[in-house]
Chains A and B, each alone.
Chain A
């Protein structure tokens, strides 16, 4: 008879409620065997226990009350009563305090969501009976003073017992419980203590998890990752940690699979790594080849810049500029400013001197470029130093113009746009100037 209930408890076929009921009945039998008083049953919820034995009876009475009355609430109260014991570990005279605390717990426990309480209560009650059974055995023989320590230890025992013996059962229970309350049984959460105590903390987290299922980011101790064991999987800390590590690696490999072209059919780490290595080598070779090419193509950058940018203006395949509105009037005064300056600058001046529609357009386009330049220098008194500085700035501005084209060559090949987008072009130049220099 005494062993029937623990076996039943460990049987996973029972539902939680059935188990609870069975437990309660067992408690009742145990109680009756001890021939304790039964008057405390009804007074449980607001009980003031005067004797030590009554306290233990209170446990059982609580279970009894749970069976008869509102099971959840009474169990919750009982759970609360169990909970403060390890915390307080007070001598028996302070029993009243414990009960008050339990009373306090009761009302505040009502405030929580029902599922949370259910979980919590269940977690407590499921672990109580073995401990209570132990204390029962102790009680018969031991002194009343021993009870305090026993009760105090009972909660610890409960955890140890869970950890050592029933880890698998508990994991199954938990996963089942979680499934009953929620949908998912497998999540990896970042909440509390580390995976070494995971089986211990799973119990506490089972209540927390139901609340914080969506709040993955809620971190109490940010360095640790809390992992849940999946159903049917090993639950010791080593295999958990290994599983986390393996999952991380496979996640990274999947990402790499997207990155490296032509890896969709390849499965397995070795093949993937081969592909990755080949791809990295080919990219590096490409870069080397391009640098060689650049070295040969690159005789005189300063010289070719203006020509290049002029060409780029008219190339139709380049443009996808962000459009900023530029008033046409703005083009003219800088144009007027620009003209005398342009004559000083030799390389620009060669083009500027020539009268042609393209040149005009080029000038108007380059004019807005000089706006930031003009703001730097006073155009009325240009010294040689300032001229060279202007030149530099114009050069860089021009480079940016070219580079705008470059980018668009690279990105938007094949897009055809209107040939002379002067205003948006100018606007984008200015934007790039302000941004990048």
Chain B
């Protein structure tokens, strides 16, 4: 968790991300946000060096899994629900509050669907630190490229004058 704060990790991630972007740029001209997102996540997981569950889960996930919808079980609505006697489910106790939130957290952190509370919290802290670093690096890169882009036309023509 401490490691995500170091400059060195930031450098490593940025350089790898940059190279990956160039590579993907060269191979396929399409620049979908989803693809980019996936690439960025995978590079982040690689930087994690496989020590955390979420990183392994991200790397293990298939590359084209974005389009496959998950098998959410829809509630089967039958016609006769109203005719049936209303089942007294309102008294059903919901899971304890903390448990519900833990469930939600499990859905957010990749690869942590069946972790205990203890390990889940550990994974979450590492995941948060890694995400923060990812945000920092990606802002820097976008800013960098945007700045370069803006200055590119002027540079080509009148670099002498500008400098």
A273 contacts chain B at the CB level, 8 A cutoff = yes
* Minimum distance in angstroms from A139 CB to a CB of chain B: 54
Which chain B residues lie closer than 8 Å to A351 at the CB level?
Answer: 159
Which chain A residues lie closer than 8 Å to B155 at the CB level?
Answer: 307, 310-311
Given A287-B37, A301-B25: A293 in contact with B142 (beta carbons within 8 A):
yes
Q: Which residues of chain B from 26 to 48 have a CB within 8 Å of any chain A CB? A: 26, 31-37, 40-41
User: Which among B6-14, B56-64, B70-78, B80-88 touches the partner chain?
Assistant: B6-14
Q: Are A304 and B37 in contact (CB under 8 A)?
A: no
Which chain B residues lie closer than 8 Å to A311 at the CB level?
Answer: 147-148, 151, 155
Instruction: Give bound CA distance, A303 to B149, whole Å.
Output: 10
Q: For the complex, count residues of A whose C-beta is within 8 A of B.
A: 66
A20 contacts chain B at the CB level, 8 A cutoff = no
* A-contact 0/1 string along B116-143, CB 8 Å cutoff: 0110011011011101101111111111
Q: Are A297 and B105 in contact (CB under 8 A)?
A: no
* B-contact 0/1 string along A267-304, CB 8 Å cutoff: 00110011011011101101110111111111111111
Contact of A436 among B12, B108, B132, B146 (CB under 8 A): B12
A248 contacts chain B at the CB level, 8 A cutoff = yes
User: Which among A36-44, A66-74, A80-88, A399-407 touches the partner chain?
Assistant: A399-407
* Minimum distance in angstroms from B49 CB to a CB of chain A: 15
User: Which among A9-17, A115-123, A207-215, A255-263 touches the partner chain?
Assistant: A255-263
* Minimum distance in angstroms from A109 CB to a CB of chain B: 43
Q: For the complex, count residues of B whose C-beta is within 8 A of A.
A: 64
* Minimum distance in angstroms from B133 CB to a CB of chain A: 10
Look across to chain A and name the residue whose beta carbon is closest to the beta carbon of B35: A295
Q: Are A356 and B159 in contact (CB under 8 A)?
A: yes
Which chain A residues lie closer than 8 Å to B124 at the CB level?
Answer: 256, 276, 280
Q: Are A288 and B137 in contact (CB under 8 A)?
A: no
Q: Are A290 and B146 in contact (CB under 8 A)?
A: no
A161 contacts chain B at the CB level, 8 A cutoff = no
Q: Which residues of chain A from 369 to 402 have a CB within 8 Å of any chain B CB? A: 396, 399-400, 402
Q: Are A276 and B14 in contact (CB under 8 A)?
A: no
Given A298-B21, A304-B149: A399 in contact with B143 (beta carbons within 8 A):
no
Q: Are A399 and B19 in contact (CB under 8 A)?
A: yes
Q: Are A307 and B21 in contact (CB under 8 A)?
A: no
B1 contacts chain A at the CB level, 8 A cutoff = yes
Q: Are A249 and B117 in contact (CB under 8 A)?
A: yes
Which chain A residues lie closer than 8 Å to B125 at the CB level?
Answer: 252, 255-256, 259
A308 contacts chain B at the CB level, 8 A cutoff = yes
Q: Are B148 and A304 in contact (CB under 8 A)?
A: yes
Q: Are A284 and B101 in contact (CB under 8 A)?
A: no
Q: Are A407 and B128 in contact (CB under 8 A)?
A: no
Q: Are A280 and B128 in contact (CB under 8 A)?
A: yes
Residue among A276, A351, A411 with the highest chain B CB neighbour number at 10 A:
A276
Binding site for A on B (CB under 8 A): 1, 7, 10-12, 14-15, 18-19, 21-22, 25-26, 31-37, 40-41, 97-98, 101-102, 104-105, 108-109, 117-118, 121-122, 124-125, 127-129, 131-132, 134-149, 151-152, 155-156, 159-160, 163
Binding site for B on A (CB under 8 A): 245, 248-249, 252-253, 255-256, 259-260, 269-270, 273-274, 276-277, 279-281, 283-284, 286-288, 290-305, 307-308, 310-312, 314, 350-351, 354, 356-359, 396, 399-400, 402-407, 409-411, 432, 436
Starting from the known contacts A259-B125, A304-B149, 19 additional A-B residue pairs (CB-CB under 8 Å) come to: A249-B117, A252-B121, A270-B97, A273-B101, A287-B40, A287-B138, A290-B142, A295-B31, A297-B149, A300-B25, A305-B148, A307-B151, A307-B152, A308-B148, A310-B155, A354-B160, A356-B163, A406-B144, A411-B7
Task: Identify 6 residue pairs between A and B in the complex whose beta-carbon atoms are under 8 Å apart, listed by A's number.
Answer: A259-B125, A283-B132, A296-B31, A301-B21, A307-B155, A311-B148
